[in-house]
């Protein structure tokens, strides 16, 4: 009975989290909290944060648009320099651990900074003279989630130049320009920067895992859905989970949950695996699965494809990399019949050709070409000098120029960033 009640609690909470009626009511609550603009800057930022939550959680497009307009009203006359940003963002040092310099400035020709994750934008905002930075560099942003977040609105409001931005989901293509006219959308994802050479492929008969799931241990990753499906799958199935701690949950959380579902002995588990281990594990698997209903790009989808391992996602999942799924790369599954459909997917895994499709369409080298083309067209349209493109770079697990010789040639520009703007591009990430 205890196990049954535990499962019931887990699944009820999950149902409520994603239920349209509940989401709209939670959005209404945050909209009510943030609608009135307090007179002080700190209070106004709190209100904007609440409105962002309302826009992010809600489903009604008309209400989302109305909420976004209200956010812009709150931004009028806001002095962002007077805000104590430590209340909203932790770790505001001038060290950019997840960013990379991908083109050095030369004469009047601007350099290019690739800046993923909103916390890194906040570090620029509070530590750097943005006017001077915009005169010397183009900034390419890579958001980690929905465009309806506090830093997205604030940074785009205060940065004095164009902001090139990748997307997390296809819907962002229209949402981002509605947030700020400074956004220039780059039709690429966080999952568009995988380096194929990091994956040492194995033949089908060399693969010793049937199914792998790579996802942090947080609730949004919904491990319980896979554990529930395992109850209806063969005990002989070789399943491996890779993850890391998130939101107070760890590997023991998953083990405890597995006990509640009666499948504690049906998989192996690994925490905090280094990137080469993750890549190797994906290459060992016949198939991989993601059971999230809603998240950003989900880079592991692309990584799995480069491992020549087809991917299964849930039908209707709001995940950016769902656009990579087709008859060559994987399929969408019905959660109501997940165990049965997963088994069919694994049995037919050899019919897919994910690596060939990924090489042709989504490698970091192709993405660099797309980005360079967009930057060159922008320069031509605005009369800027543009004689050289950005260096080829990958994102695994943080962005870095691929060729060490090319990266070494950027060292003087990295020093200038530190000496002139006070920011440091970390060598090893944070």
pLDDT tens digits, one per residue of 103-153 = 999 999 999 999 999 999 999 999 999 999 999 999 999 998 889 999 999
Contact 302, 283 (CB under 8 A): no
CATH class of 196-361: alpha beta
- Rounded Cα distance between 225 and 261, Å, is 10
Give per-residue pLDDT as tens, 211-247.
999 999 999 999 999 999 999 999 999 999 999 999 9
Asked whether residue 430 carries a pLDDT value surpassing 80, the answer given is no
Question: How many of the other CB atoms lie within 10 Å of CB of 316?
Answer: 12
Give per-residue pLDDT as tens, 287-308.
999 999 999 999 999 999 999 9
Give per-residue pLDDT as tens, 173-207.
999 999 999 999 999 999 999 999 999 999 999 99
The percent of residues in the chain predicted with pLDDT above 90, rounded, is 96
pLDDT at 429: 53
All structural domains of the chain with their residue ranges: 2-82, 86-190+364-425, 196-361
Contact 374, 184 (CB under 8 A): yes
- Rounded Cα distance between 311 and 130, Å, is 41
């Amino acid at each position: 009975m205890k196990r049954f009640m535990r499962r019931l609690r887990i699944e009820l909470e999950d149902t409520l989290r994603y239920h349209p009626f509940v989401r709209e009511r939670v959005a209404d609550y945050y909209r009510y909290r943030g609608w009135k603009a307090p007179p002080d800057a700190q209070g106004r930022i709190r209100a904007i944060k609440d409105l962002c939550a309302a826009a992010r959680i809600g489903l009604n497009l008309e209400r989302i648009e109305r909420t976004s307009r209200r956010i812009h009203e709150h931004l009028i006359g806001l002095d962002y320099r007077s805000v104590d940003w430590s209340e909203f963002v932790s770790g505001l040092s001038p060290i950019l651990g997840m960013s990379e310099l991908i083109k050095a400035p030369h004469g009047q020709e601007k350099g290019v900074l690739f800046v993923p994750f909103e916390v890194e934008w906040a570090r620029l905002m509070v530590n750097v003279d943005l006017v001077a930075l915009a005169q010397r560099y183009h900034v390419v942003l890579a958001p980690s989630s929905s465009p309806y977040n506090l830093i997205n609105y604030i940074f785009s409001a205060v940065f004095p130049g164009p902001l090139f931005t990748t997307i997390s989901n296809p819907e962002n293509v229209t949402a981002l320009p509605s947030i700020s006219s400074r956004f220039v959308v780059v039709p690429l994802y966080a999952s568009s920067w995988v380096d194929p050479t990091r994956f040492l492929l194995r033949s089908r008969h060399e693969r010793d895992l049937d199914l792998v799931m790579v996802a942090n241990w947080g609730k949004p990753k919904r491990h319980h859905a896979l554990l529930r499906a395992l109850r209806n799958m063969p005990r002989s199935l070789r399943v491996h989970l890779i993850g890391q701690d998130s939101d107070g949950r760890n590997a023991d959380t998953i083990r405890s949950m597995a006990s509640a579902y009666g499948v504690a002995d049906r998989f192996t588990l690994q925490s905090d695996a280094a990137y080469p281990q993750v890549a190797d594990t994906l290459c060992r698997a016949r198939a991989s699965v993601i059971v999230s209903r809603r998240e950003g790009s989900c880079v592991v989808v692309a990584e799995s494809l480069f491992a020549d391992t087809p991917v299964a996602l849930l039908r209707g999942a709001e995940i950016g990399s769902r656009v990579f799924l087709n008859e060559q790369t994987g399929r969408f599954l019905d959660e109501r019949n997940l165990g049965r459909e997963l088994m069919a997917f694994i049995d037919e895994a050899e019919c897919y050709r994910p690596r060939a499709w990924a090489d042709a369409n989504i490698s970091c080298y192709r993405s660099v070409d797309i980005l360079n083309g967009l930057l060159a067209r922008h320069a031509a349209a605005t009369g800027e000098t543009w004689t050289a493109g950005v260096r080829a770079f990958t994102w695994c697990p943080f962005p870095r120029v691929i060729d060490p010789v090319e990266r070494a040639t950027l060292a003087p520009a990295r020093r200038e960033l530190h000496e002139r703007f006070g920011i440091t591009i970390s060598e090893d990430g944070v």
